[in-house]
Amino acid sequence: MALIGRLFVILFGFLAACLVAGMIVVGAVLFPEFSDLGSGPIDPGALNIVVGFGFIFISGFALLPAMIVVAITEAFYIRGALTYAVGGGLVGLACYLGLVPFDTATFRFDGIVRRHLEIMTGAGIVAGIVYWMIAGRNAGAWREPPPAPPPLPPLPSASPQSPPSS
């Protein structure tokens, strides 16, 4: 039963981390638009739609690499915040490199934009920390046996414990 509850916590932590990473990616990509004072305010409805698409984009691409990191940390009871930050950075890096074409003749990625690589890696680091705050602090806790019930209190001294033997 504890495993089923843990799976829900992992899913909620993953979705929250993806939402935060999507907001970071959208905010960083739209930052030049935010800094232009001549264009006027940005429509909040449109921004919510863009953040929603960012969430869907991040969660779709990050699902497999993030689940590998989660499986490793759950299997080995790894609960350190730095581990989740590094794992999130690697997931962000993997998500970005999954979108960049790879030339098999030269074994190089063609068309890497350094700013986009930094944005995705940074968003992954923050997402890893968010996941740690929600689910990572208790990694592997579902395997621990439940605590033993407390011992029964002693019987009062005036109560009959057993019939007297003759």
Q: Tell me which of 53-62, 81-90, 127-136, 156-165 is least confident.
A: 156-165
Q: Contact at 8 Å (CB) between 62 and 93?
A: no
Q: Which long-range contacts (CB under 8 A, 24 or more apart) does 113-119 make?
A: 117/93, 119/24, 119/25, 119/28, 119/29
Rounded Cα gap, residues 73 and 91, in angstroms = 14
Higher pLDDT, 85 or 43: 85
pLDDT at position 40 over 80 = no
Concatenating the DSSP letter of every residue in 40-73 gives -PPPHHHHHHHHHHHHHHHHHHHHHHHHHHHHHH
Over residues 116-165, the pLDDT tens digits come to 999 999 999 999 999 999 999 999 888 877 788 899 888 877 656 666 66
pLDDT at position 69 over 90 = yes
Mean confidence (pLDDT) of the chain = 87
Rounded Cα gap, residues 128 and 71, in angstroms = 14
Neighbours of 125 (CB within 10 A): 22
